[in-house]
Structure 1
């Protein structure tokens, strides 16, 4: 009986400039993808063409294009970003004032592809609103809760109705560990601007969209990742809604992306659901595992961000001790040990010298108790004390560098050294390095164009060397970080046929103006540039 799994259903790709990221065979011209979506033969165009004729299989001419493995994005917020891009109001990122905010919110309704998925709540995104006071929104929206997320996702501007529905006391709300409330200087009342752990009540109260809509926006987000050349990613804030939607997308045959889901342990506001259900989800994670979804991952945000006006990163005090007032949780050691024993990889968000040191200390304690435990990660690595770089390799810790769009960015320069992605020191310490877009803080999940800002540094002045190192960080190093190096990350026989065609030769460090021309997932075209 005829079947699409027969040998003659393979496809041969010839006449490419194939950069394999395989040291044993760094370059090739052609390859064959079998009916299971895996590479079955790699070599010259002549050899592949001869094999294709012998097996009577279809041949695709790559026409000299630069081909490399699909990108592994080490840090995305897929559901959050997909919702923001399709179903929520998008406001100007800079210079938004109170006088213009209400007008922008009213105009913004028509910018949403699918309309509002949050019942009667208005939900929008910006970076900063100058001199925010909830009373200015109350006049235009007296009965409608309004939430504007800002500060790279770490702060919120809310009107009175949103605060009331979320359970805040507008006059006497108490401070809490890691919470950052902006209060009226005369009365002490909440202005509606708040950051970090202060968001907990609001983000849990915010209505969740139905599963069908979550699936809808995840399909859109998947397309956006494919446009950026991403075929594998680490979701950095997985919750129950997302895992349920991914499970159904998998069952529908619509998931064309390998997703490693870091389920939120803490704080609850980044997971947008109570800690109790998030911890239960971690206990039941295996139930959501599938071919394309790996649930062996945990996320903790330990401190905030070194961005104005909050500066909520946990630094070191003069005595060398951690500034614990900036920490979001105080039991990170216990959490790491608990999930390390289960074989789950921890991704710990750290942006300050203090939080990074504390996390490395916790990993060191855990390694002594369980020397053969899984590889863990520190997310962002923009605030690493010079004394700490040498600790990453012996502790088997991945240095996940993100957000890529902040590398050598004006905001980075203006931080006074608080945001420093020191690839030189990480490479000098022989640390395992991956790169993430931190999609959610940026409008698009692009990584490749931003590598132009660091390619010379990573290559020690040799652009080609920098290109080679970056390509490895974006592919095989990512697969190694999540334990999938035998399945993906390079173009090798037996591995999944996830690959991209790119407009420039990235192995030479040509990142300026680069674009993804085509993306294949398991041998199937999932994106083609118009």
Structure 2
């Protein structure tokens, strides 16, 4: 067959014209038009006049952008795709406010009728809530005496269980022992109330039956669509487990994966991945098997401490004499883990919300930099608890400051934390830290980062200068690509890079985030989302 009849020939490129294209390329920040070749790459970037002339000369299809603001696709530096997907399809979503021990049973009963897919966890009933006031398992026992019930809460760092769930998971209701990083709430008799946080959840979350692979794929497809709605074409998955990697592998083989995913396979704690520590460590060892065109598995995740939320306040801070609050750490071997995976070129993302956990992690990164100066760029997730002395170390140690969850950047909850939740962009930028932004998406809502940026765009960065739209656009795109070592392939609109781009209702380069909407998302030149 003649090459002219092949869909892979350059004759099948598409020319996009009449756009306001913010490229995030410092050498040519603005353009009007570009050409996307059949393989989904930018083959030319320039003016409408030049691109239109080439299109007519080569007889290309022309797409008129009609003056829309165009920028590279967003890189969300912290998502939980599988947790979000399963939550949207199969978990009971309980009210955010006004939920207490007396009402939770009836609310759960009402909500369970609305789940699209029941019996995902066999006979367990799973829900999500922010907080349940004065919880005691006996209130759930009245409605569900024989059904194990688990409700995830507190930014996924806590859980509420009824008596049947506690028994099936192997808890000793009358005399369960405390351990490293555990948080059990007990009644006046010293018995478990069923409310617990952090490492206390290990037995429950590694016992609960897991969904089958078909449902995992279904959840990942739904999560992918939600990310596309938010303009996301690349992301870092922060809680990858075996089921997720097998699901991604099959979706890739089916041609259904339309996003670049960088799964951070969980090293610890086991409750994050709902899988045994031994299985997770084997998964990291076998991670190369799961690499593919759109899946890069060179990443490892550790949650080192908890969250600065009442009533737990499980973040690991610093004592008056500058020591780390070790009782709040989830693992005590972070130095060894960093050394092991740094040596084989795997990037570590370590969750730190307290100043002590952050300092300990930076110390671990500094130790490997002394023996492996050219090792991978590691990350600290969240970065809301950083001591003033430690900001400069991010740049010195080539560590990414991954700022998340974005919805808390400007939020009454963060403001009321007494300084425990401080995402200090000005200090990070003054220290020249490599900075990215993540949604920490895990609750099933749209992971829309744009409204969250409205609250920080006027933050003072250097002297009297504002943080500004252009700098935020870079954090949301090219900085993310740099964090995962893909800056030569994605993150900006440049010739030779993948054609992952979005049309937005407002000019984000000017900081117009407040009312901005994603109009269209393209992945490798293919429209994967359009606003209707």
Tell me how far apart the structure 1 counterparts of residues 231 and 99 of structure 2 sit (CA, whole Å): 33
Shift of 1:27: 0.4
Q: Which position in structure 1 is the counterpart of 2:235?
A: 233
Q: Which position in structure 2 is the counterpart of 1:487?
A: 489
Shift of 1:96: 0.4
TM-score with structure 1 length normalisation?
0.98
Q: 1:39 to 1:232 in 2, by over 3 A?
A: same
| Partner secondary structure for residue 419 of structure 1 | coil
| Partner secondary structure for residue 388 of structure 1 | helix
Tell me how far apart the structure 2 counterparts of residues 271 and 217 of structure 1 sit (CA, whole Å): 16
Bigger Cα displacement from structure 2, 279-288 vs 163-172: 163-172
Shift of 1:295: 0.1
| Partner secondary structure for residue 458 of structure 2 | helix
Q: 1:464 to 1:424 in 2, by over 3 A?
A: closer
Ranges in structure 1 where 5+ consecutive residues have no aligned partner: none
What are the equivalent positions in structure 2 for 1:51-90 lying under 5 Å apart?
Answer: 51-90=54-93
Shift of 1:465: 5.7
Runs of 4+ in 1 over 3 A off after TM superposition: 458-465
Alignment partner for residue 221 of structure 1, among 220, 223, 243? 223
Shift of 1:113: 2.5
Shift of 1:428: 0.4
Tell me how far apart the structure 1 counterparts of residues 417 and 87 of structure 2 sit (CA, whole Å): 27
1:138 equivalenced with 2:135 (yes/no): no
Alignment partner for residue 502 of structure 2, among 500, 503, 514? 500
Alignment partner for residue 278 of structure 1, among 267, 280, 290? 280
Q: Which position in structure 1 is the counterpart of 2:316?
A: 314
Residues 14 and 49, structure 1, Cα contact 8 Å, conserved in 2: yes
Bigger Cα displacement from structure 2, 338-347 vs 451-460: 451-460
Tell me how far apart the structure 2 counterparts of residues 461 and 253 of structure 1 sit (CA, whole Å): 49
1:516 equivalenced with 2:486 (yes/no): no
Shift of 1:3: 1.9
Shift of 1:276: 0.3
1:153 equivalenced with 2:171 (yes/no): no
Alignment partner for residue 455 of structure 2, among 453, 456, 476? 453
| Partner secondary structure for residue 47 of structure 1 | helix
Tell me how far apart the structure 2 counterparts of residues 164 and 465 of structure 1 sit (CA, whole Å): 52
Tell me how far apart the structure 2 counterparts of residues 49 and 476 of structure 1 sit (CA, whole Å): 27
Tell me how far apart the structure 2 counterparts of residues 464 and 526 of structure 1 sit (CA, whole Å): 34
Tell me how far apart the structure 1 counterparts of residues 89 and 463 of structure 2 sit (CA, whole Å): 41
The alignment's C-alpha RMSD in Å is 1.2
Paired residues, number? 529
Ranges in structure 2 where 5+ consecutive residues have no aligned partner: none
Residues 465 and 509, structure 1, Cα contact 8 Å, conserved in 2: no
Residues 88 and 116, structure 1, Cα contact 8 Å, conserved in 2: no
Q: Which position in structure 2 is the counterpart of 1:384?
A: 386
Shift of 1:442: 6.9
Alignment partner for residue 190 of structure 2, among 188, 191, 205? 188
Shift of 1:58: 0.6
Residues 463 and 509, structure 1, Cα contact 8 Å, conserved in 2: no
Q: Which position in structure 2 is the counterpart of 1:410?
A: 412
Tell me how far apart the structure 1 counterparts of residues 298 and 245 of structure 2 sit (CA, whole Å): 12
Q: Which position in structure 2 is the counterpart of 1:344?
A: 346
Tell me how far apart the structure 2 counterparts of residues 259 and 321 of structure 1 sit (CA, whole Å): 37
Shift of 1:358: 0.5
Q: Which position in structure 1 is the counterpart of 2:247?
A: 245
| Partner secondary structure for residue 527 of structure 2 | strand
Per-residue CA deviations over 1:263-298 (Å, capped at 9, x if unaligned) read 000000001100000000000000000000000000
Tell me how far apart the structure 1 counterparts of residues 149 and 446 of structure 2 sit (CA, whole Å): 24
Tell me how far apart the structure 2 counterparts of residues 260 and 472 of structure 1 sit (CA, whole Å): 19
Q: 1:460 to 1:509 in 2, by over 3 A?
A: farther
Q: Which position in structure 1 is the counterpart of 2:11?
A: 8
What are the equivalent positions in structure 2 for 1:96-107 lying under 5 Å apart?
Answer: 96-107=99-110
Per-residue CA deviations over 1:234-283 (Å, capped at 9, x if unaligned) read 00000000000000000010000000010000000001100000000000
Tell me how far apart the structure 2 counterparts of residues 111 and 63 of structure 1 sit (CA, whole Å): 41
Bigger Cα displacement from structure 2, 509-518 vs 231-240: 509-518
1:179 equivalenced with 2:176 (yes/no): no
Residues 88 and 444, structure 2, Cα contact 8 Å, conserved in 1: no
Q: Which position in structure 1 is the counterpart of 2:94?
A: 91
Per-residue CA deviations over 1:39-95 (Å, capped at 9, x if unaligned) read 000111111111111111110000000000000000000100111112110101122
Alignment partner for residue 44 of structure 2, among 22, 41, 44? 41
Shift of 1:464: 7.7
| Partner secondary structure for residue 492 of structure 2 | coil
Tell me how far apart the structure 1 counterparts of residues 461 and 356 of structure 2 sit (CA, whole Å): 29
Tell me how far apart the structure 2 counterparts of residues 35 and 464 of structure 1 sit (CA, whole Å): 40
Per-residue CA deviations over 1:180-203 (Å, capped at 9, x if unaligned) read 000112x11111000000000100
